[in-house]
Chain A
Amino acid sequence: MACVTRKWKQLLTGAVFGVTAFGSSAAMAGGQLTMLVWEGYADKSFVAPFEQESGCKVNAVYVGSNDEIVAKVMSGGGTADLISPSNDTTMRLINADAVSPVDTSKVPNMADFLPQFHNPKWLTKDGKVYGVSYGWGVIRIIADPAAVPASTDTLGFLWDPKYAGKLSVWDDIETIYMTSRYLGFKNTYDLSDEQLEQIKAKLIQMKPNIRKYWFTTGEMGTLMASGEVVGGTAWESTLVQLRNAGKKVLDIKPKEGRGAWSDSWMIVKGAETNACVYPWLNYVSSAKAQALAHKVTGFGYPNIKMVDNLDEKTKASYSELGMADPATLTNVDWWQPVKRRAKYLEIWNQVKAASN
């Protein structure tokens, strides 16, 4: 952002969290870790045991968007040692030379990761791996089996007039990505204006079926549970919420593929010398720590052995979602950086503002 804005922001963050003065230099001296992470990624339940074990003090600053991470890291000045950006942002940071490669030999717990998360393409450049995978999820296509046939294998049902006013999809540009997949575009994350117009037309065509664009995963659960809608898109937590409430829900696997996101721990350039960095990376990669984290966020985590640390009920729902099964990830479209995100958002806002 603007230098002015950035300075103000730093001042504010500094005032609120008292981190500006510390940064990585203090971290080196006193065994401290400063991290810019999503809420739930430095929860007390698993941070406290780490602090006790390692003697490293964890300072977590929560962020609201990937851009916030980028803006803070790019501004330099040792704002953080570790960050947890998503896969649509990692390559930007790698290309900008803002993060350091990870010495995976110092993170032995990665051996238990699902194969897809050892060196995913969004973390790999010139044979080096720049991050340790963490929370992940697939954008699920869900439906009420009483209304939608279980054999459904395409996103096309979302446009079926049979479901007028009975569907809900995510209020997010992921819905643009999804429509791009449905229309068979191969360049979902780098669409031309013409393709975006086609997607817009297609989404406006879907609008009569939309009861509401959901905003939070819990909202989609409520919409389904109360019978306002019979299907749409969702996160894993929505499915768990509904199944725990005793509702049967289809987890449709469309042939067009599903969107997927994955966050990673990345080391801000210069912080690799901080003695607390690798102990943390290895700790959060352990099955035990990831099980604790799952309890907080409900996300998927890469460590396969995590399941053994879950209670029976959580284990069952996690397995039902195929979260420990590499096959779940065979037909997914991992998010990528979108250079023209402002344009995508404008199209999405046009769709929402259109009345028909």
Chain B
Amino acid sequence: MTSSAYVAGQGQAGARSARRLERRRLLFWLLPPVAWFTVFMLIPYGMLLYTSLGHVDDMRFIPGFSFDNFIRVFTVDPYLGVIIKSARIGVMTAILSAIVAYPLAFYIAFHVRSARAKFLLYLLVIVPWWASYLVKAYAWKTILGSGGILNATLQGIGLTDGPVRLFLYNEFSVVLTLTYIFTPFAVLSIYAQLERIPTSLIEAARNLGADGWTIFRRIILPISVPGMVAGAIITFSLAFGDFVAPVLVGGPDSVMISNVVINLLGVAFDWPMAAAIGVVIIALGLLLISASGWLEEKTQTRF
């Protein structure tokens, strides 16, 4: 009895010390991610929120606890209007990118047989990213401008008499440039989803007498929706926060929210207001990511 109780007690103590050791080890492994999260997420976001609740008086930051800046974002021109405009440009970019990207992703996934050719095409999609964003945006300037390649061609073949000025310096050129620059992201995420479709599924459908269009409409398209959603979220976010395209190819109306934030930081030195816009956008972003996560989950097909 005593001896067995002693053994049991020892076993318990051993388990406890093992657990303690385990806990210590857990702490050791948890520390890096927690530290990373604290340094790169919690502290910056905390500082952003702290700044947004204060105000600037004569170029000096006065800490406070006031929601005035947030109220201003929603009530004073032009902040909310510019956020909506940026969102509109983001949505158009996302839709256009998906439309441009889908056929290419489809082609790479289903029509390119050899792995080599697949890799090559894949590479060609990524290669433009080796060139600087600025260079690509400037390229569109030279294509779309009054004396640009497009206008020269149109006049050369006699379609127009004078230069068409509608191509450049407006929302159209901004969306076009952003679409061109961010489409690779849509291609990659749609392609990743299409790759997952088992060929057996398509063969089975074919055996059952489905034609190509039916297979696309009833099998491929529904399965690829999560990839499109993921691609759209990336392209939307990148386009929404862009500040270079409106400056380079935008017109007099093409001010986007990041441009306003830059102005507030640099010209006006109104960091609290800029921080408030940042907090609002982060909140909107979280909402968007939650919604898209839910949508991806809901549209995901299980095999």
Contacts and interface: CB of A to CB of B under 8 A. Distances in A.
Nearest to B269: A67
B76 interface: yes
B216 interface: no
Main SS at interface, chain B: loop
A228 B164 CA distance: 11
Q: Name which of B56, B263, B268, B273 has the most chain A CB atoms within 10 A of its CB.
A: B268
Nearest to B54: A2
A245 interface: no
B251 interface: yes
A2 B51 contact: yes
A226 B147 contact: yes
Contact of B266 (A65, A226, A227): A65
Contacts of B47: 2, 4-5
Interface in B154-169: 165, 168-169
Contacts of B61: 1-2, 5
Contacts of B59: 67, 70-71, 74, 92
Contacts of A171: 247
A212 B270 CA distance: 26
A65 B255 contact: no
A165 interface: yes
Interface stretch (A35-43, A310-318, A338-346): A338-346
B145 interface: yes
Nearest to B247: A215
Interface residues of A, number: 37
Contacts of A92: 59
A339 B57 CA distance: 10
B146 A4 contact: no
A349 B85 CA distance: 13
A342 B273 contact: yes
A350 B252 CA distance: 11
B251 A353 contact: no
Interface string B251-267: 11101000010011011
Contact of B253 (A70, A228, A339, A352): A352
A151 interface: no
Chain A CB count within 10 A is highest, among B165, B250, B263, for B263
A65 B262 CA distance: 12
A226 B146 contact: yes
Given A5-B271, A211-B169, A349 B263 contact: yes
Contact of B165 (A2, A70, A165, A349): A165
A279 to B, nearest CB: 31
Nearest to B250: A212
B77 interface: yes
A353 B79 CA distance: 9
B298 interface: no
B270 A2 contact: no
Given A5-B47, A211-B251, A211-B252, A353 B77 contact: yes
A26 B119 CA distance: 58
Interface string B58-91: 1111010000000000001110011001000000
Given A5-B47, A212-B252, A226-B145, A74 B60 contact: yes
B169 A212 contact: yes
Contacts of B264: 342, 345
Contacts of B271: 1-2, 5
Nearest to A216: B247
14 contacts: A1-B271, A4-B47, A5-B51, A65-B267, A70-B59, A172-B267, A210-B252, A211-B251, A341-B267, A341-B269, A344-B268, A345-B264, A345-B268, A353-B77
Pick the 5 closest A-B CB pairs, nearest first: A353-B78, A67-B269, A342-B268, A210-B252, A352-B255
Given A210-B251, A211-B165, A339-B58, 13 more contacts: A1-B271, A5-B61, A65-B266, A65-B267, A212-B169, A228-B145, A228-B168, A342-B269, A342-B270, A345-B263, A349-B255, A354-B253, A355-B253
